[in-house]
Every structure is written in C-alpha cells, then in structure tokens.
Structure 1
Amino acid sequence: MKKIFLKSLPFAVLCLAVTCTSCNSGSDKGTEATQQSDSSKYTSTIDGKSVKLYTLKNKKGASVSITNYGGRIVSLLVPDKNNKLTDVVLGYDSLGAYRKKGEPFFGALIGRYGNRIGKGKFTLDGKEYHLQLNDGVNTLHGGNDGFFSKVWDAKQDGQKLELSYVSKDGEAGYPGKLDVKVTYTLTDDNALQIDYLATTDKATVVNLTNHAYFNLNGEGNKTILDHELKIDANAYTPVDSTLIPTGKLQPVAGTAFDFNKAKTIGKSIEENDQQLKFGKGYDHNFVLTHHDGKMPVAVVKSPITGITLEVYTTEPGLQFYSGNFLTGTDKDGKGGKSYPHRSAFCLETQHFPDAPNHATFASTVLKPGETYKTSTTYKFCK
C-alpha cells in the first residue's frame, strides 16, 4: 500500500511550478471594495491560549485572513473581472460563531483525519481504536475534538503564516503524539498555498485538509449551481447511505459524476442517481488522474465575477461537496447574511475517506521516523 508521506517535489520547487493555465491573472491592484474582517472580533483567550486574526496581503491587493482558532480561513479577497476585490469564502463575523455546536467547519483545518471513518473505528497493528462519533454512526473530520476546535500556535512572516499544534496520544481516540505544522502562503500571483507537515511517536493515521467553502460569485450569493466545474478524474469512490465508501472505484464516464469536460455544477445534480440521493447532491471523493502539484486537478469559474479557481495538489483524492447541508435558517454569516442550500462548494484535497478500513485504498498510516508532507494550492485568476 502507498504510504501517506509523499516523495514529491520540495515545496519551493512546487510553488514555482504552479502557473495559472486557464486564464490571465492580470497585474492591476484590486480596489478595496470588500471590507476585511474586523480583527477585534476574533481576539480572545481560549483554554489559556491567545486567539487572533492574522491577515496576509500580496502586492496586487489580494488578502486572506486566518484565525489560529482551528486554523480557519475567515475571508479571502481576490479581484474579479472588473478588478473589484471579492470575498469568495463563507464564514462568520466573530469568533463566537465559529465555536457554536453544529457549525459546518467553515474554513477550518481538518485533522487528524479529514472526511469520514466508518463506525468510528479502525484497526492498526492488530489493535482496534475507537473514535468519537459525530456524524451518526460515523466519525467526521476528526470527531468532536478535531483540529478545527484547537488553538494553534501562530507565527506570521509577511505573506506567510505558520501554525503548529501538538496532538496528544489518545486525543479524540487516535494513537500517537502527533506534531503538526501547517503553513499558509499568499503569493503575489493570487495563490493560497497550504503546506502540511506532521510526525508521530507511534503508528497512527493522518489525513489533513482544509474545509473552505467557496462561492466565486461572492460569499452570500445564493447559489453555486451556475459555476462551471472541471475535475480531472476518471473515477470516484461510491458510498453507502451513511456516506462511507464501499471500497470500489466507479468510473465517472456516462454518469452525473463526469466533470472531465467542464459543466455547470447544477447540470446533473438532480439526476435520478442513488449516489446523488445519498449525498443530497455531490459529497463524494474523486480519484484524481494526476496529483503531482504541477497541473490543476480542478478548475471552477463564476459566470458573474469571472473569477476562476484552480486547485493543485499532491494528494490522490478530492472531495467535491456542493453545500447540500447548508440551510440558510440563520443569519450568522458575514454581514448578517444567510447561507442557503447549495450556496457554496468545497474542494477538499485528501487521501480517501475511510482508508484505514480499506486495504485497496492508499495507506494513511504514519509511523515513527516518517514525515507526512503534502501541499495544496488554491489559485485565483480572471
């Protein structure tokens, strides 16, 4: 089985290799049309640790604001076709809203294990481990005690923010003390690069990702069904009724899951397909054709703003989620906005869901002496 640590290009080389292939980023500085988040509303002390909002800006005027509470991307301002800065991620106006029970992981760092683990258990080296159940009978995004709710140590250096966290042996049921470092870098070509690094003192499973909710029309817009999406994948991992992979790889050809040619997200989402019914839309892992970090694995474009998002990764899977469980029942979003059904999408780079329970999936086991190392870039152009 393939190990989770990836013998890929060094991050510095990887970053230089990333170029926007589908459009021209432009060189004009954006106008300050969208306000940045009020940092005072994210300043607090949690579990004796200081929480702040950190903002990275590039030479073109784009910016990203991140809180070290859960490593959450709070806002991401990028220029649209008219050079107007547009916030393209969903989130809240204050720290307190991110701490409420049942919030949908807006912008969070996810760990130890991104996505689902069936029945909240797995066996490693002959021992069965039991995790916190927080998604019906399953574990989702690390459980109730996941990385999304932790205060990370933060160090900013210009356009780079380094977050670190030590997860104790047994935390949320996972074995081993895990030392984690995640680095956010905002480049001058409007790319947000996320580099993940982890080591352990005991064999464990690791699958880190970020759970940003995007709407390229601008956060608060009521739909993403008009977005045009392309995913470079010939197969996906079908799921059971609880959204746990069956272990099979299903070809996308001739199905609603074929995004090899760009189409709107809404084109096939209401087809009479059992998989779409299970997920109430798209909530599935795509098996990427390539994942060397050099070419985009997914491209999304807004018909309104002209903003294009390209995703690059060294991970073998991509969870495409079409915001099916957003309800819009409250107005806790930024500026008092509501976020209704399918008003955002997620493209979570990852190893496959429930991989510890499927020998045919690439291994997510990390052992002492090994280093978990992976990189994902979200690049915006117009």
Structure 2
Amino acid sequence: MNHYKLPEQRDFEHRIAGKNTHLITLENSRGVVVALSDFGARIVSLLVPDKYGTPTDVVLGFSHIQDYLTADEQYHGVTVGRFANRIANGRFTIDGETFYIEPNNGPNALHGGAAGFHKRVWDRRVVYKEKADFYYVAADGEEGFPGKLSVMVKYRLTDNNELVITYRAQTDKPTVINLTNHAYFNLNGEGNGDVLNHRLQIQATNYLPVDEFQIPAGVPAPVEDTPFDFRTPKLIGQDIRYADDQLAKGNGGYDHNYILDTEVLAKKLPVATAVSPTTGISLDVLTTEPGLQFYTGNFLSGKDVGKRGQPYGKHGAFCLETQHFPDSPNQPDFPTTLLMPGEVFQSETIYRFSIVK
C-alpha cells in the first residue's frame, strides 16, 4: 500500500473556462513535496517521509484534473471562498440590504456557492520549489456576494516541514469573507483505510452545536463531558459512534466548529495536533483564525477513487479547516466577517509535519 508518487504534470494541463491549468510542485531539503493546482488554488498531493523515511502522500486527491471536474466531493484540497462553511438560507444583510446566495447544501449556501472559488482557475506566480502565489478577482455580484474582491493565496514550503498558507483580500464594497483550505488528510497515507486510529488534540474549551441543517444555534457549549472533548489527545474513533445528537447531525461523525482558546492563539502555539500510529507522521496546525472546523469525512461515500486506485470511504480522512465561525453574517455575537473598502483581510495557517517514533 505504499508507492506514493506525484501526479504527472501533463495530466493537469487542461483548459477550463478559457484558462489553462497546471500542476505546480514545491519541494524542501527534507523530502517534503507539495503539488498544487491553479484550479481551485488547491493542494493535490503532499508527500511527507514517514518514520521509515518512505514518502507518504497524506492528502486525498486525484491523478488527473478531469477527476476533479467530475468528483463526487468537489472540495478536495481547495481554497474555499468567498465564504467558507454555511450561510443559513443563503441570505445575509449588510447595511439594510439583503444578499442571496443560491443554496447548495439543503437550505444553506455552502463554501461560497455552487461556483465558488473551488471552481475557478486562479492566476499564479511561482518561485522555484519554494513558494507559489495564486490570485483571483471575484466580480461584484459573483455567486450573489457584493463587491469586487481581489484575493491572494500564498503557499510557502519551509525547511522546517511547514506548509505556510497566507491569505489576503480587499474589496471595493462592504462584503463578507471567510477563507480556508479544505485539505482532506489521512496521515496513514491517502486511500489507506480510515482515520479513526489517529490521535487528535484540539485546543478548544468550547464548540458550536448545530441544528438539523448544521447551522450553529448561536450559543457555544463546553466540550467537557461530551464526545467533542479533544483537549487531551484521544483517538478520533474513540467516541465517534457514541449515541449523541450532535454526532448524528453531522451524519455520524464530527462536522463542527471549535472555538479556539485565545491564549493558545496569542502564544502562536498549535491549535490542533494529529498523529498516525501507522506512519508516525504528526501534523500540527497553527493559525490566526478564531475557529477550527473539524470534519471526519462523514459524507465520503466511496464514489471517488483516489490517486492509487483506492476508494475514499466514510471517515477516510479528516479536515482541520481554520476559519471564522459558520453563519457569522447572521450571528452578531460571532466575530465579524465583514470586510470594508480600504481594509485588508489577512490570515495565516501553518500545517507543520514531524515524526513521532
């Protein structure tokens, strides 16, 4: 089940909506290799040496760009925007004016709408093997959002085995913004079973319970004495089958936003750490964002077949999506996601890899 390799560059040379697509590769001195595509400014592959030194691809994805166009799961590795996560009923109001995004997730608008940033071909600038910058300008009214939004996403691979993702955006009208990366991680190796054996820690005392449409009820709840308590490391699978109303609303797993502890954020410490006992690969997540959506691939159905011919089934990956809280435009008690003309939205997230022996 090893033999992980990068997709071929030629298999990502395509034309979508009049723009050419490419596969871009970053590499550091310690054997970490990242493959990116300008279609969705996404992570395609992320090869990390395991405890035996064997390169292991820890991100779900496909070997050909055509598979991304037809995939059952549209968000593999993408930059999500203009608004990550859910907006209730696809509606929000700015200065008394109501805006409408066509729902694409039951009654909700999810991840910026059906043709969000994940469907766009971004412009790019690459510094050889070290960093890649992606640029996109969303038109005023695109997917229903107000304002012409200029966005830049920078990927930088360091020799400390850190993939640093930096976001920057500006608008010409008041708008809302919530950007994240939607990498599906399996530190056992992509397609190598489920992730329930991973040990996970999340530095959050509270999380946001959701209603039947997975919209936060607005009132944070303590994780203590619930299956959502990852303050000390535990297996992802330890409580995932617990008879819990919130787990049921996530389709039999975690799909909830954690309110990250402010002290951890202030000290720039990891907000989450996941470890595979199979490979020894450890992933630390550091961020400037106030929230973390923890998702355990509950809707992966096996329809998508990955880079090594293995189907991606339920719980075949986890996501640790750094972001503002879901439905923030409709919930005034949440940290604001409003971006005004003259302001600059900035955010940074780091995925740092190491080996636990």
- Tell me which interval the TM-score lies in, with the shorter structure as reference length: over 0.9
Equivalent pairs, count: 350
Give the whole-Å Cα distance in 2 for the aligned partners of 1:134 and 1:293: 38
Counterpart amino acid of residue 24 in structure 2: Y
Give the whole-Å Cα distance in 1 for the aligned partners of 2:72 and 2:169: 27
C-alpha change, 1:267 and 1:101, in structure 2 (3 Å) is closer
Could you tell me how far 1:49 is from its partner in structure 2?
Answer: 1.2
Residue 254 (structure 2) aligns with: 282
Could you tell me how far 1:335 is from its partner in structure 2?
Answer: 2.1
Give 1:313-352 correspondences, 5 Å limit: 313-330=287-304, 332-352=305-325
Residue 85 (structure 1) aligns with: 55
Counterpart amino acid of residue 76 in structure 2: F
Deviations 1:37-60 (A, max 9, x none): 111111011122111000000011
Could you tell me how far 1:61 is from its partner in structure 2?
Answer: 1.6
Give 1:137-176 correspondences, 5 Å limit: 137-158=107-128, 159-176=130-147
Could you tell me how far 1:314 is from its partner in structure 2?
Answer: 0.1
Residue 365 (structure 1) aligns with: 338
The runs of at least 4 consecutive aligned structure 1 residues that moved more than 3 Å come to none
**Contact 2:212-2:249 within 8 A present in 1 as well:** yes
Q: TM-score, normalised by structure 1?
A: 0.90
Q: Match for 1:197 among 168, 191, 205?
A: 168
SS at 1:99's partner residue?
helix
Residue 65 (structure 2) aligns with: 95
Give the whole-Å Cα distance in 2 for the aligned partners of 1:260 and 1:61: 31
**Contact 1:202-1:367 within 8 A present in 2 as well:** yes
Give the whole-Å Cα distance in 1 for the aligned partners of 2:46 and 2:69: 20
Q: TM-score, normalised by structure 2?
A: 0.96
SS at 1:335's partner residue?
coil
Q: Which has the higher contact order (CA 8 A, sep 6+)?
A: 1
Deviations 1:127-176 (A, max 9, x none): 00000211011011001110000000011002100000000000000000
**Contact 1:177-1:201 within 8 A present in 2 as well:** yes
Residue 3 (structure 1) aligns with: none
Q: Match for 2:279 among 302, 305, 320?
A: 305
SS at 1:148's partner residue?
helix
Could you tell me how far 1:237 is from its partner in structure 2?
Answer: 0.6
Could you tell me how far 1:101 is from its partner in structure 2?
Answer: 6.0
Could you tell me how far 1:336 is from its partner in structure 2?
Answer: 1.7
SS at 2:35's partner residue?
strand
C-alpha change, 1:367 and 1:373, in structure 2 (3 Å) is same
Residue 58 (structure 1) aligns with: 28
**Contact 1:293-1:314 within 8 A present in 2 as well:** no
SS at 1:97's partner residue?
helix
Give the whole-Å Cα distance in 1 for the aligned partners of 2:277 and 2:10: 35
SS at 2:98's partner residue?
strand
Q: Which moved more, 1:43-52 or 1:142-151?
A: 43-52
Unaligned residue ranges in structure 1 (runs of 5+): 1-31
Unaligned residue ranges in structure 2 (runs of 5+): none
**Contact 2:72-2:303 within 8 A present in 1 as well:** no
Deviations 1:188-214 (A, max 9, x none): 111101000000000000000000000
**Contact 2:216-2:326 within 8 A present in 1 as well:** yes
**Contact 2:73-2:300 within 8 A present in 1 as well:** no
**Contact 1:292-1:313 within 8 A present in 2 as well:** no
Does residue 375 (structure 1) correspond to residue 345 (structure 2)? The answer is no
Give the whole-Å Cα distance in 2 for the aligned partners of 1:88 and 1:157: 24
Could you tell me how far 1:362 is from its partner in structure 2?
Answer: 0.2
Residue 6 (structure 1) aligns with: none
**Contact 1:169-1:177 within 8 A present in 2 as well:** yes
**Contact 1:293-1:376 within 8 A present in 2 as well:** no
SS at 1:336's partner residue?
coil
Residue 19 (structure 1) aligns with: none
Could you tell me how far 1:72 is from its partner in structure 2?
Answer: 1.2
Give the whole-Å Cα distance in 2 for the aligned partners of 1:277 and 1:221: 25
Deviations 1:80-105 (A, max 9, x none): 11111100000011111111264241
Deviations 1:69-122 (A, max 9, x none): 001110000111111110000001111111126424100000000000001010
Residue 196 (structure 2) aligns with: 225
